[in-house]
């Protein structure tokens, strides 16, 4: 199998280069045609491997048309288990082009890394699926369903409708989600936990119209200052989330060195870390709250005026195993009961997605660990991921008997969603081998 991988890998790396060249930004209507082109391109690649491949879409709950998704099936093997391989073909916008060191849609290899938008998230995941099926060929011992969606980066709005409409052809005994991360470059991992996410929008009002800051400043605090106080109240003196009843653990299975965290996050010198407990636990098994949007008057348009109204949006990462809707309700209650100086606080709940806890004792999880260890040549570890993959709960709801495992090819240097996104080439090769080994092992479980 390793010899087949060595022979096939140059063409697989070229395939990833072609994926990078398609700006399949699902959040931008200007790239709608590119998202379509991406789906068709991937359909052709899986069809070339002998799979029955088609592009499908469904309508989301709000009535909007979903983005194109690929569904492909290998020739049926009677009596063999079925494995669903998941990835997504849409990508994030590139942001500030000036912050990239190269054209984000022209893949560039530097040493052991390939750079470009989608080179890792999730073009690498697609390449892993193509690669594992390529090197197994006619020796594939299981039935495989490939499901590659086109709207993961915008929250998969039609995902539930898609699963409901196509549950028969997506039904599987094992679901492999390849959209996560490894522990380090050269050190593979099984994702044991994912935090959930709950979002709220907060409106803060202090007056019915703007007034002069010289005439009324003092007794009347502006809505920006009030908002800042309210946000600050969400954290205790250590920087832990102060909202009660959200759960969490201070301990993690692995140690995340502080210097590595600082380098990966690009923290400014002298900034202290917030929170208590193991560093990894603060990001994996404890709640966090981030301000992801804030409406205020720009400095360039500043005037001596007290702002009467301010709006901001919070993203709360919830503890694995905690109901995100219940956690969201506790956040709402906290905000309403901590209004500084009696300001009018209105909270609108937005999305709430569940976290994930792997069944670490399942035969599939153990087989995944064995496959990763064999492919990389070093022991795989269990890691949590601070981010969310909310649609996993949809998989578990619609396919309650399926065993779901989460893995990936990203690493702390990937810069997913940021400039100069990149993928370790050696890890990509190992991930392809690991998935092929896993498919082989699943056949005998």
Between CA 124 and CA 435 the distance in angstroms is 13
56 lies in the same domain as 162: yes
pLDDT per residue as tens digits for the range 283-304: 999 999 999 999 998 999 999 9
Tokens at residue 227, please? Answer: 């908002």
Tokens at residue 240, please? Answer: 């832990």
Domain count, the chain: 2
26 lies in the same domain as 168: yes
pLDDT tier at 399, thresholds 50, 70, 90: very high
pLDDT per residue as tens digits for the range 48-58: 999 999 999 99
Q: Which residues 6+ apart lie within 8 Å of 346 measured at CB?
A: 202, 203, 205
- Decide if 333 is inside a domain: yes
Run of H or E residues at 33: helix 32-48
396 lies in the same domain as 329: no
Given this model, what pLDDT does residue 391 score?
86
Q: Which residues 6+ apart lie within 8 Å of 420 measured at CB?
A: 99, 100, 101, 102, 115
pLDDT tier at 393, thresholds 50, 70, 90: confident
346 lies in the same domain as 405: no
379 lies in the same domain as 299: no
- Decide if 276 is inside a domain: no
Place of tokens 């106080």: 229
Residue 273 has pLDDT above 90, yes or no: yes
Q: Identify which has the larger pLDDT, 155 or 187.
A: 187
Cα 414 from chain centre: 13
Residue 387 has pLDDT above 90, yes or no: no
Between CA 229 and CA 218 the distance in angstroms is 16
What are the phi and psi torsion angles at 33 (to 5°)?
-65, -30
Given this model, what pLDDT does residue 207 score?
98
334 lies in the same domain as 396: no
pLDDT tier at 412, thresholds 50, 70, 90: confident
Given this model, what pLDDT does residue 164 score?
95
End-to-end CA distance of the chain: 20
DSSP, res 184: B
ω into residue 140 within 30 of 0, thus cis?
no
CATH number of domain containing 378:
3.40.630.10
Given this model, what pLDDT does residue 435 score?
99
pLDDT per residue as tens digits for the range 10-46: 999 999 999 999 999 999 999 999 999 999 999 999 9
Run of H or E residues at 36: helix 32-48
Q: Output the DSSP codes for 298-332.
A: -GGG--SEE-SEEEEEEEEEEPTTS-HHHHHHHHH
- Decide if 257 is inside a domain: no
Residues of the chain with pLDDT > 90, as a percent, come to: 92
Of 336, 353, 370, the position where a domain reaches its end is: 353
pLDDT per residue as tens digits for the range 90-134: 999 999 999 999 999 999 999 999 999 999 999 999 999 999 999
Given this model, what pLDDT does residue 54 score?
98
Given this model, what pLDDT does residue 253 score?
83
Between CA 287 and CA 290 the distance in angstroms is 10
Of 331, 353, 375, the position where a domain reaches its end is: 353
Between CA 379 and CA 366 the distance in angstroms is 12
Residue 390 has pLDDT above 90, yes or no: no
- Domain residues for the domain of 312 are 196-248+287-353
- Decide if 263 is inside a domain: no
Q: Which residues 6+ apart lie within 8 Å of 259 measured at CB?
A: none
216 lies in the same domain as 320: yes
> Are the CB atoms for 189 and 383 separated by under 8 Å?
yes
The number of helix segments (H) and strand segments (E) in the chain equals: 13, 18
47 lies in the same domain as 160: yes
89 lies in the same domain as 158: yes
> Are the CB atoms for 192 and 384 separated by under 8 Å?
yes
Q: Which residues 6+ apart lie within 8 Å of 107 measured at CB?
A: 16, 17, 20, 21, 114, 115, 116, 119
- Decide if 160 is inside a domain: yes
* Residue 232 CB burial class (10 angstroms; 0-12, 13-18, ≥19): exposed
Between CA 338 and CA 352 the distance in angstroms is 22
183 lies in the same domain as 206: no
- Decide if 269 is inside a domain: no
Given this model, what pLDDT does residue 228 score?
98
Residue 171 has pLDDT above 90, yes or no: yes
Between CA 137 and CA 141 the distance in angstroms is 10
pLDDT per residue as tens digits for the range 191-217: 999 999 999 999 999 999 999 999 999
310 lies in the same domain as 238: yes
87 lies in the same domain as 173: yes
Of 330, 353, 376, the position where a domain reaches its end is: 353
Between CA 393 and CA 98 the distance in angstroms is 38
Between CA 303 and CA 123 the distance in angstroms is 47
Given this model, what pLDDT does residue 159 score?
94
Closest CA to 193 of 371, 352, 380, 382: 382
pLDDT per residue as tens digits for the range 213-269: 999 999 999 999 999 999 999 999 999 999 999 999 999 988 899 999 999 888 999
Given this model, what pLDDT does residue 264 score?
83
User: Mean pLDDT across the stretch 332-341?
Assistant: 98
Across the chain, what does the average pLDDT equal? 96
What are the phi and psi torsion angles at 262 (to 5°)?
-60, -40
User: Mean pLDDT across the stretch 420-442?
Assistant: 98
Q: Residues 74, 78, 80, 84: what is their CA dihedral angle, to the nearest 10 degrees?
A: 30
Between CA 212 and CA 430 the distance in angstroms is 64
Tokens at residue 81, please? Answer: 């288990």
Given this model, what pLDDT does residue 403 score?
96
CATH number of domain containing 210:
3.30.70.360
Between CA 53 and CA 381 the distance in angstroms is 34
Given this model, what pLDDT does residue 284 score?
95
Tokens at residue 364, please? Answer: 């599939």
């Amino acid at each position: 199998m390793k010899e087949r991988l060595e022979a096939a890998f140059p063409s697989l790396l070229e395939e990833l280069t072609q994926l990078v060249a398609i700006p399949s930004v699902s959040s931008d209507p200007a790239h709608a045609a590119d998202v379509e082109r991406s789906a068709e391109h991937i359909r052709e690649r899986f069809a070339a491997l002998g799979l029955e491949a088609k592009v499908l879409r469904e309508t989301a709950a709000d009535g909007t048309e979903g983005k194109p998704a690929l569904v492909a099936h290998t020739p049926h093997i009677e009596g063999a288990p079925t494995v669903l391989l998941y990835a997504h073909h849409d990508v994030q916008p590139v942001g500030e082009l000036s912050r990239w060191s190269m054209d984000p849609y022209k893949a560039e290899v530097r040493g052991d890394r390939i750079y470009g938008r989608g080179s890792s998230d999730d073009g690498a995941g697609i390449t892993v699926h193509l690669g594992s099926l390529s090197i197994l060929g006619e020796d594939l011992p299981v039935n495989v369903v490939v499901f590659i969606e086109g709207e993961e980066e915008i929250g998969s709005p039609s995902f539930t409708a898609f699963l409901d409409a196509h549950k028969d052809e997506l039904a599987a005994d094992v679901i492999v989600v390849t959209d996560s991360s490894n522990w380090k470059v050269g050190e593979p991992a099984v994702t044991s936990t994912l935090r959930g996410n709950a979002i709220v929008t907060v409106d803060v009002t202090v007056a019915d119209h703007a007034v002069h800051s010289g005439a009324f400043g003092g007794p009347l605090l502006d809505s920006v200052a009030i908002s800042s106080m309210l946000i600050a109240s969400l954290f205790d003196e250590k920087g832990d989330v102060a909202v009660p009843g959200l759960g969490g653990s201070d301990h993690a299975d692995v140690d995340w060195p502080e210097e590595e965290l600082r380098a990966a996050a690009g923290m400014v010198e002298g900034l202290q870390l917030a929170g208590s407990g193991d560093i990894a636990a603060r990001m994996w098994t404890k709640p966090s709250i981030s301000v992801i949007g804030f409406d205020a008057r720009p400095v360039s348009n500043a005037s001596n005026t007290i702002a009467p109204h301010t709006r901001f949006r919070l993203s709360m990462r919830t503890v694995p195993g905690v109901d995100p809707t219940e956690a969201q309700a506790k956040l709402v209650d906290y905000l309403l009961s901590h209004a500084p100086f009696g300001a009018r606080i209105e909270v609108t709940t937005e999305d709430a997605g569940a976290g994930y806890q792997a069944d670490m004792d399942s035969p599939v999880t153990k087989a995944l660990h064995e496959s990763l260890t064999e492919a990389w040549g070093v022991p795989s570890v269990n890691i949590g991921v601070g981010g969310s993959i909310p649609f996993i709960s949809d998989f578990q709801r619609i396919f309650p008997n399926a065993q779901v495992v989460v893995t990936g090819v990203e690493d702390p240097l990937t810069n997913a969603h940021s400039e100069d996104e990149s993928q370790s080439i050696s890890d990509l090769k190992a991930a392809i081998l690991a998935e092929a080994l896993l498919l082989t092992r699943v056949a005998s479980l």
